[in-house]
Chain A
Amino acid sequence: MTDMIDTHSSGRSAPDVQDHGRRVSRRRLRREKLFYRLLTLPALTIVGLVAIVPLLLLLVGSLREQRSGLFTLDNYVNTLSNGFFMRTLATTIVMAGGVTAISILMALPLAYLLARRTLLRNIVMPIITVPRMLPFVVIGYAMILLLAPMTGVANKVLMGLGILQQPAFILFDWPGQAIAFAYNGIVVATAVLTGVLMSVDPQLEDAAVSMGASKVRAFFAVTVPLATPGIIAASALIFTSVVTAYAIPVMLNGRVPYMVSLLISANLLTLQQQNLAYAQAIIVSVLALGVTTIGQVVLSRYGQRGGDK
């Protein structure tokens, strides 16, 4: 049996044979990397052509004057100084904020119950999931069936019970839209928050209770702070979905447009003010993306503390 630790100085391999070997393996590595890059090419091409390029063109279009094609910031300036647009943006934000708040508050207790009780969750899960597999238009139909002045279930029931003397005309006005958004908001909030609360270790709450806190106190003192990043992420989600919604505002629209998406589509389709519409669309996306980014940043920074799987 041979034995040795130290280097062989017998010059078994000439330097250029060593280099050749290294060159071969380096070439092989480069071919490998190229191969991998080629595999990512279709995906990048599709996204580039179908998403990035159109968005860039949108941006470029927003910076040009409608008729002349000259580059200008007028579209943005006009929009941001337009009282009508800004008021509508404000009502959109108020609507989105209100819907988000209500959704989170209403869904949180249910999400907590679902997170802790498997049986309840198994029963309720289809109720939360099936509505998310429907186009929002169907929810709009349901709103009509519910809130229509003469034929809607709500009005019929309330009038039949004598609570209402005459039908409430809330369908084609902001309450109708708000209810539709709140429906979707609560569905999404329940689903997302259930997941968030499931990831908070129940033993932490039990520990608080064993140290003397009441169950409710433990919930607010222990679970809620740990779930806060997830709550913020869910809020961002709901907020942006309301701000950028289009189907419901159009379906349940009244005389006064409350939602910015109506203005954008009017400019785009009816008024032939495409570039203005692009600028407005970009302003709205910046708002939506800003909110989402804040949510993501908070989630990635403070998420996973005290969580388990």
Chain B
Amino acid sequence: MSAPRWRLAPGLIFGRAALAIYLVIMVLWLTFPVVLVLLASFQGTLEVSWPAPVSFDAYKTIPPSYWEAFWFTIRAALLATGIALLVAIPAAWAMVRGRLAGRRVMSNLVLIPDVVPQLILGIALLTVFIPLRLSNSFAGVMLALVALSLSTGLRFTEALLEGLPDEYEQAAQSLGADKLTAFRLVVLPLIAPGVAIAALFIFMQNLITFELLFFISGPSATPIAIRLFSDIIDRGIVPYAVAMAGILVYVAIAFYTLVAVSLGPKYMAGSVMSRKG
């Protein structure tokens, strides 16, 4: 399946037609995976036929182990997001307002889990987790997610705090508030909306993390992405797996709706751009 290349078109009509074809092809390309997965999930088979009767069998036969994995992932992602932000916000405040020496170095250090390829970090974690008996455990998965979330979280919060003018805290201090009170009454409420959005993004990022967790997961600690992966390796594709994939699509759509509704589409382009692939 190849698409026409973008060419300098001499005639306007030809150019317009080429543009229209290009747009259609691009939209098709961008949507086909999600569409195929959803269609297949409602057909209960491993192939997509058109037309076909709608059947919920695939969804109904999702085994408990899949749901376990799903809720495991949700729990780990939620907890990791919460812990990461709880740690990142004071750290970012200290870095931005405290004017500490070596702030650049600290900032970059915490970015390491984001910069290093997940595959490598996952392998590295395996070496450390085995003796600590953290592999194949909720705690281990959560720790790995916290490290990753911390990078993203710190980046977000640092940007939020840098965007907040010094003057608010200075005004609060001049009015009698000590630094902590100023932080509580002025800084936190003003960065709260930004933090909420960051939490959403970090949560989703945690939900779909794969390579980082692959090596340290196990039978008792299986994120849903890894469960879907290993089943397809071991058993090949099964209808209920496609259904579970469909469920993940619904979660993604719900997330997008939440963010778009609270932010407005224009902001989406900016924030989407700043996240890594």
Contacts and interface: CB of A to CB of B under 8 A. Distances in A.
Interface of A: 32-33, 35-37, 39-40, 42-44, 46-48, 50-55, 57-58, 61, 105-106, 108-110, 113-114, 118, 121-122, 124-146, 148, 151-154, 156, 179, 183-184, 186-188, 190-192, 194-196, 198, 216, 237-238, 240-241, 243-247, 250-251, 261, 264, 268, 274, 277-278, 281-282, 284-285, 288-289, 292
Given A146-B32, A153-B47, A141 B269 contact: no
A44 B273 contact: no
Interface stretch (B55-63, B144-152, B159-167, B187-195): B144-152
A129 B268 contact: yes
B277 interface: yes
Interface residues of B, number: 94
Contact of A133 (B31, B208, B266): B208
B48 interface: yes
B175 interface: no
Contacts of B23: 110, 113
A237 B248 CA distance: 25
A229 B255 CA distance: 31
Nearest to A244: B117
B137 interface: no
A110 B26 CA distance: 8
A216 B7 CA distance: 10
Contacts of A278: 123, 127
B277 A184 contact: yes
Contacts of B225: 135-137, 247
22 contacts: A39-B90, A40-B94, A40-B100, A51-B113, A54-B121, A54-B127, A55-B116, A55-B120, A57-B127, A129-B268, A132-B277, A134-B249, A138-B37, A139-B33, A141-B228, A153-B47, A188-B277, A194-B269, A196-B273, A198-B270, A281-B120, A289-B115
A261 B118 CA distance: 11
A153 to B, nearest CB: 5
Contact of A152 (B47, B146, B151, B241): B47
Interface in B224-272: 224-225, 228-229, 232-233, 237, 241-242, 245, 248-249, 251-253, 255-256, 260, 265-266, 268-270, 272
Nearest to B89: A39
State the 9 A-B residue pairs at the shortest beta-carbon distance, nearest first: A195-B273, A36-B98, A142-B33, A151-B47, A135-B225, A133-B252, A244-B117, A54-B124, A39-B94
Q: Which of A186, A246, A292 has the most CB of B within 10 A?
A: A246
Nearest to A60: B127
A125 B124 CA distance: 36
Interface in B32-87: 32-34, 36-37, 40, 46-48, 87
Contact of A195 (B110, B209, B269): B269
B112 A52 contact: yes
Contacts of B182: none
B186 interface: no
A105 B6 contact: yes
B13 interface: no
Nearest to B93: A39
B30 A42 contact: no
B117 A288 contact: yes
A108 B6 contact: yes
A184 B151 CA distance: 23
A141 B247 CA distance: 13
Contact of B109 (A47, A118, A131, A142): A47
Contacts of A122: 265
